[in-house]
Amino acid sequence: AEPRAKPSADDAKARAARFSSFRQAVRTTTAGAAAEPAETAPDLPSHSSAHPEGDTTP
């Protein structure tokens, strides 16, 4: 494969700006998720289902 041509100064600035905005967006998304974790499961196990796993009592 042939080596790539060196990007111009304008190309380098545009690429840096895109990367910076992408990194900022990712950081904002990650910070928002860390600040407000989504509740996927209760902290304490609750037996609200009719037959939880391991429970053989009717």
In sequence order, what DSSP letters do the residues of 34-52 get, joined into one string?
HHS----S-SS----SSS-
Q: How many CA atoms lie within 13 A of 18 on its CB side?
A: 6
What is the structure's pLDDT at 58? 65
- Does the pTM surpass 0.85? The reply is no
Biggest CA-to-CA distance, the chain? 74
Supply the pLDDT for residue 1: 74
Q: What is the pLDDT at residue 15?
A: 92
**What confidence score (pLDDT) does residue 26 get?**
83
CB 41 within 8 A of CB 49: no
pLDDT by position in tens, the chain (length 58) = 788 888 798 999 999 999 998 888 888 766 555 555 556 666 665 556 666 666 676 6
